[in-house]
């Protein structure tokens, strides 16, 4: 299954703790999320349609000022926050830099912490570290140190995270549960569960009270190893602790643990408790998680109950459609998935091909390439542009039914639609090239390799499998071998599909 599609099935396999990190490390969480009533709201309306993450929005910002309009610092901070919520990190970074470089607003420690986080996401850890080293000493406080720790854990850089945590201990900044939670969560994600316990014990030994996130991370660690007895003891301790405010997420973690252990009845009890605590702003995230969990229990009626309750009470966004579609596919309900996708198409949500991509993959796995082809053609007729991963899904579907010429054309479309960092399904690409070799179509192979270069799918971004196919002689000929090696280089590096 295509990476971008399969990842959605596991999107909520372990609840995140990013919000509490944002509150303490990036204090703009306190800002009013709505900027529609201030001048920045109109500017955001200009920025919002710039959907290409690689396109710059600086010209839009400059034009705003050239028109004689004004912006205060608070408006720009709110804009950065909103862009981060929608994961438009490059655009958020541009606004942050423009705020200081062009509007000359002084940056607060929280502004610096946010920029540090954005630099790490957009440019990587090295540039984030360089930025941190240039922060004036009087602004290197808990929030900025904590932001860098969060960057290390986000990139799963264990050694750097541990060294930085020690610096925070030495400076007296490791005095709250949130700092420990960040590192414990990293250990939990990497399966280093014994380190979770060690850090938890250190925290308690220093008199730092664990919060519900600390307990939940520890619960997740034990749930991952099906240590249900220990998980239940932690849950009992949380319920008995008057300082711990139980929420839907805690019981969802427990439900997830029971599901992994095959204890479905206990999981359903936890899900019922979780539902009873779903309120307010976190309702949407809770619904997404509950959908995936109910799908994992195999209870389709419960899945539809949650879905129908949600769509009758508030607007359904793309992320929830993706969770519902992914959940139905997990239950092998193609007909139900098609109905939900039809609802999505007729609704008011923005057209995001990641939603139908889930069904396109399912069609491909079942040899239903004609249905996938029909959907994509209709979308194109309406002016929609399929993602490279959409074409890639279709090419793979064609290949499974031995429709090789169609697979070749679909893979060309995928490469033409690609962006830097994207890479194709290497097995499908290799099969297309092998087919062209068998046809004696060296020009066709050259066209593929030229497209891989010119469209930004650089030599190092083509995965190792294709290189192995060349090296073991599967695609070998004097001319073809050199063409492929020029196209894929050493087969190392490159980014995963995003």
Cα–Cα distance for residue pair 238/254, rounded to 1 Å: 12
Alpha helices per DSSP H over 135-192:
142-154, 158-171, 177-189
Q: What is the arithmetic mean of pLDDT over 22-31?
A: 49
Residue pair 109/146 in contact (Cβ under 8 Å)? The answer is: no
For residue 304, what pLDDT is reported?
A: 96
Could you tell me the pLDDT band of residue 3, with boundaries at 50, 70 and 90? very low
- Torsion angle in degrees (nearest 10) through CA of 335, 341, 343, 347: 180
Lowest mean pLDDT among 5-9, 50-54, 178-182, 441-445: 5-9
Residue 26 has pLDDT above 70, yes or no: no
Which whole number is the average pLDDT over 413-434? 82
How far apart (Å, rounded) are the C-alpha atoms in residues 309 and 307?
6
For position 348, what pLDDT does the model report?
A: 76
Q: Quick one: which of 315, 324, 376, 377 has its CA closest to 350?
A: 315
pTM: 0.73
User: Running DSSP on this structure, what letter comes out for residue 275?
Assistant: H
Mean pLDDT of 234-238: 94
The three-class DSSP label of residue 281 is: helix
Please write the tens of the pLDDT for every residue from 168-214. Answer: 999 999 999 999 999 999 999 998 989 999 999 999 999 999 998 99
CA dist 233 and 239 (Å) reads 10
- What sign has the CA pseudo-torsion 408, 410, 415, 421? negative
Task: Report yes or no: 227 and 258 within 8 Å, Cβ to Cβ.
Answer: no
Residue 51 confidence (pLDDT): 61
Q: Cβ neighbours of residue 65 under 8 Å, at least 6 residues apart?
A: 71, 102
pLDDT band at 461 (very low <50, low <70, confident <90, very high): very low
Q: Is 1 helix (H, G, I), strand (E, B) or coil?
A: coil
- Identify which has the larger pLDDT, 16 or 25: 25
Of the candidates 362, 423, 444, 424, the residue with the CA atom closest to the CA atom of residue 397 = 362
**φ and ψ at 55, to 5 degrees?**
-80, 145
How do residues 82-111 score in pLDDT, each as one tens digit? 898 888 899 999 999 999 988 889 999 999
Token pair for residue 72? 């205060």
Q: Report pLDDT for 23.
A: 45
Q: Give me the half-sphere count of Cα atoms (radius 13 Å) on the Cβ side of residue 115.
A: 23
- Rounded to whole angstroms, the Cα distance separating 262 from 56 reads 49
Residues in the chain: 498
CA count, 13 A, side-chain hemisphere, 371: 15
Contact 50, 60 (CB under 8 A): yes
What is the distance between the alpha carbons of residues 4 and 389, in angstroms, rounded to a whole number?
Answer: 8
With vertex at residue 322, the alpha carbon angle to CA 327 and CA 22, rounded to the nearest 5 degrees, is: 110
| Centroid of chain to Cα 129 | 23
The whole-chain average pLDDT of the chain stands at: 83
Distance CA 21, CA 9 (A): 25
Confidence category of residue 28, pLDDT binned at 50, 70, 90: very low
Q: What is the pLDDT of residue 431?
A: 86
Sign of the alpha-carbon dihedral angle for 15, 21, 24, 28 = negative
Q: How sure is the predictor about 430, in pLDDT bands with cuts at 50, 70 and 90?
A: confident
Tens digits of residue pLDDT in 151-174 = 999 999 999 999 999 999 999 999
Residues 39/43/45/51 CA torsion (nearest 10 deg): -160
Q: At 497, is the pLDDT very low, low, confident or very high (cuts 50, 70, 90)?
A: very low
**Between 54 and 465, the higher pLDDT residue:** 54
Specify whether the CB–CB gap between 462 and 490 falls below 8 A: no
CA-based max dimension of the chain: 75
């Amino acid at each position: 299954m295509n990476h971008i599609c399969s990842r959605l099935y596991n999107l909520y396999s372990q609840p995140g703790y990013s919000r509490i990190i944002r509150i303490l490390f990036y204090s703009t969480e306190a800002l009013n999320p709505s900027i529609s009533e201030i001048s920045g709201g109109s500017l955001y309306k200009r920025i919002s349609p710039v959907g290409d993450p690689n396109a710059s929005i600086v010209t839009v910002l400059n034009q705003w000022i050239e028109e004689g309009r004004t912006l205060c610092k608070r408006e720009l901070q709110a804009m950065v926050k909103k862009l981060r919520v929608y994961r438009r990190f490059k655009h958020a970074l541009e606004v942050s830099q423009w705020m200081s470089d062009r509007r000359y607003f002084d940056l607060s420690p929280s502004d610096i912490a946010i920029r540090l986080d954005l630099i790490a996401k957009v440019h990587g850890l090295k540039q984030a570290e360089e930025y941190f080293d240039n922060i004036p000493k009087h602004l290197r406080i808990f929030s900025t140190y904590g932001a860098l720790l969060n960057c290390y854990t986000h990139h799963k850089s264990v050694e750097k995270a541990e060294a930085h945590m020690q610096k925070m201990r030495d400076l007296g900044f490791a005095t709250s549960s949130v700092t420990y939670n960040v590192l414990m969560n990293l250990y939990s994600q990497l399966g280093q569960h014994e380190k979770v316990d060690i850090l938890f014990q250190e925290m308690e030994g220093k008199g730092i009270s664990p919060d519900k996130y600390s307990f939940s991370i520890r619960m997740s660690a034990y749930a991952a190893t099906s240590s249900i007895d220990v998980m239940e003891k932690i849950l009992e301790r949380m319920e008995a602790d008057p300082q711990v405010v139980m929420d839907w997420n805690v019981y969802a973690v427990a439900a997830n643990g029971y599901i992994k252990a095959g204890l479905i009845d206990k999981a359903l009890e936890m899900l019922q408790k979780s539902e009873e605590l779903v309120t307010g702003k976190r309702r949407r995230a809770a619904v997404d998680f509950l959908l995936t969990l109910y799908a994992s229990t195999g209870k389709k009626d419960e899945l539809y109950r949650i879905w129908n309750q949600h769509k009758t009470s508030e607007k359904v966004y793309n992320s929830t459609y993706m969770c519902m579609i992914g959940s139905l596919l997990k239950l092998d309900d193609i007909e139900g998935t098609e109905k939900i996708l039809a609802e999505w198409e007729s609704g008011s949500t923005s057209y995001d091909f990641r939603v139908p991509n889930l069904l396109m993959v399912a069609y491909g796995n079942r040899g239903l390439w004609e249905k996938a082809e029909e959907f994509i053609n209709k979308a194109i007729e309406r002016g929609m542009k399929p993602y490279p991963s959409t074409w890639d899904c279709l090419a793979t579907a064609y290949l499974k039914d031995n429709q090789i010429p169609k697979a070749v054309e679909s893979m060309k479309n995928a490469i033409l639609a690609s962006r830097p960092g994207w890479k194709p399904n290497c097995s499908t690409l290799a099969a297309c090239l092998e087919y062209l070799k068998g046809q004696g179509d060296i020009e066709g192979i050259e066209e593929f390799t030229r497209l891989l270069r010119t469209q930004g799918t650089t030599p190092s971004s083509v995965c190792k499998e294709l290189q192995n196919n060349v090296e073991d002689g599967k695609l070998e000929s004097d001319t073809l071998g050199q063409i492929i090696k020029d196209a894929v280089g050493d087969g190392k590096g490159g980014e995963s599909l995003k």
